[in-house]
């Protein structure tokens, strides 16, 4: 989505992804958008406009059991997330659009600090310092606009949400709240399908 820092290859190599509290950055090498936003004034919160255009669709990572695991040619296709006493199996969906294209998505929701989620999505959150690790940064000063996306696991429909940097800057809880809004938006239209963060869940434009 993006994107964030290291540039080694499109997927983190692992034979199996199982998490207890956080969503993995399975797509760990995505270049920063060349047309990145620098010091953009914070936009007011606004719901997506009512448009007839269909939602953009992410790409499901497809398993190839006949091939050996490979970070690019045969990456993991699902992640297991611990939710209380239950292991949830989630499909991995990727949005290959560069960040400046997502920024113009007709379904993009703009939010401001302070969102309180309708549902509990804590199992997908990163703890303190988690987003630094995912994005390969050493300080929040590098982060301008943050975009998080959720996806309908059946259809791949994408639900992007962005928040611009405000006077208080960034922290993990604020990024997690953006992801919560994306997941709530997806859930509201899912008709019983599972919603989960795309991979990677959130990205930033440099400040």
Q: Hey, how many other C-beta atoms are within 10 angstroms of the C-beta on 130?
A: 17
**Confidence band for 8, pLDDT divided at 50, 70 and 90:** very low
* Residues 146 and 178 sit within 8 Å (Cβ to Cβ): yes
For the ranges 55-59, 60-64, 124-128, the maximum mean pLDDT occurs at 55-59
Has residue 95 got a pLDDT over 60? yes
Hey, where are the domains in the chain?
A: 18-206
Residues near 175 by beta carbon (within 8 Å), at least 6 away in sequence: 126, 131, 146, 148, 202
Of 6-10, 45-49, 150-154, which one has max mean pLDDT? 150-154
pLDDT tens digits along 154-172: 999 999 999 999 999 999 9
| Range 49-56 average pLDDT | 91
């Amino acid at each position: 989505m993006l994107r964030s820092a290291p540039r080694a290859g499109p997927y983190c190599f692992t034979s199996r992804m199982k998490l207890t509290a956080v969503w993995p950055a399975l797509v760990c090498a995505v270049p920063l958008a060349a047309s990145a936003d620098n010091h953009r004034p914070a936009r007011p919160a606004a719901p997506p406009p009512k448009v007839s255009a269909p939602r953009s669709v992410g790409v499901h990572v497809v398993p190839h059991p006949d091939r050996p695991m490979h970070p690019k040619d045969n990456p993991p296709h699902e992640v297991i997330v611990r939710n209380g006493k239950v292991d949830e199996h989630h499909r991995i969906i990727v949005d290959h659009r560069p960040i400046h294209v997502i920024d113009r998505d007709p379904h993009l929701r703009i939010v401001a600090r302070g969102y309180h989620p309708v549902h509990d999505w804590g199992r997908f959150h990163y703890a303190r310092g988690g987003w630094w690790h995912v994005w390969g940064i050493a300080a929040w000063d590098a982060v301008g606009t943050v975009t998080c996306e959720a996806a309908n696991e059946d259809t791949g429909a994408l639900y992007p949400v962005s928040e611009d940097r405000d006077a208080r800057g960034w922290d993990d809880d604020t990024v997690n709240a953006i992801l919560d809004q994306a997941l709530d938006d997806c859930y509201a239209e899912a008709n019983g399908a599972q919603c989960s963060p795309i991979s990677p869940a959130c990205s930033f434009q440099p400040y």
